[in-house]
Amino acid sequence: MIIMALLRPARGVVASWEWLQETPGGRDLALGVSTAVKAARVLGAKKLMEVRRIEISWDRKGKGPIGLGSTISIPPGGQLEADELAARIADSQPRAHPESRAYRIYMTGPGAWIDEQGSEKWEPRLVDFAVDVQIFGVTGVLGVIHDIWSWYDFSGDPHPLIHQNNAPRLAAAIKEIEDSIGVEVEPGEPTFYAEPERYGIKYYPPNEEGKGFNAAGLK
């Protein structure tokens, strides 16, 4: 299947949602891997992201990031398993830095959205999911970069059918990730484009011209 980008992405993240699992015993990469796999399964089942690429960032104890990363490719239709992913992360460690530790797992891949006619369209990147493994806990972050989840497009024009066809899918995925991980979701900070709420993007009434905020200037 050839996937072409049809949607206009934002320059940065439109909205994000976070899950923090505290780890009193210190860094827990196994928990980070488990979190990544659980999120990938939910997003894959919802057709929001079929993981094809996993980027691993590395650091050294007491010295911070080493400035190098590694990449793990997942074939189309491939299923992530925690044990296998943990092994592949270990195998991808930079050889010049045998003391380095994986501290970030960033997953991307194609996802499907529904247009105004109800047709399914695929984008190379619709959402992404990152897991940060730190001494205090493991944080999972779901991010979106398009306007299809909002009532308004980036120009401030309402697109109710686009919203109706896609926002409930995102809400359901956030709820299922929440249930799978077992930690309540926290909406991220408001951005230039949108303000996230627990299971989606906050709605604001239109102005006197029937439009929302025009964020097209950042396109």
Per-residue pLDDT at 188: 98
Q: How far apart are CA 7 and CA 4, in angstroms?
A: 9
At 43, which helix (H) or strand (E)? helix 29-45
Check if the beta carbon of residue 40 is closer than 8 Å to that of residue 49: yes
Per-residue pLDDT at 126: 96
Per-residue pLDDT at 1: 62
Instruction: Look up the pTM and report it.
Output: 0.95
Amino acid in position 194? A
Question: What number of CA atoms fall less than 13 Å from residue 85's CA on the CB side?
Answer: 28
Check if the beta carbon of residue 7 is closer than 8 Å to that of residue 123: yes
Whose structure tokens read 């929001």? 48
The DSSP string of 95-147 is: TT-TT-EEEEEEEE--EEEE-TTS-EEEES-SEEEEEEE-SSEEEEEEEE-SS
Per-residue pLDDT at 202: 97
**For 47, left (φ over 0), alpha (ψ -120 to 50), or beta?**
left
Polymer length of the chain: 219
Residues sharing a CB contact under 8 Å with residue 149, sequence separation 6 or more, in sequence order: 14, 15, 163, 166, 167, 170, 194, 200, 201
Residue ranges in the chain modelled with pLDDT below 50:
219
Whose structure tokens read 């994000």? 16
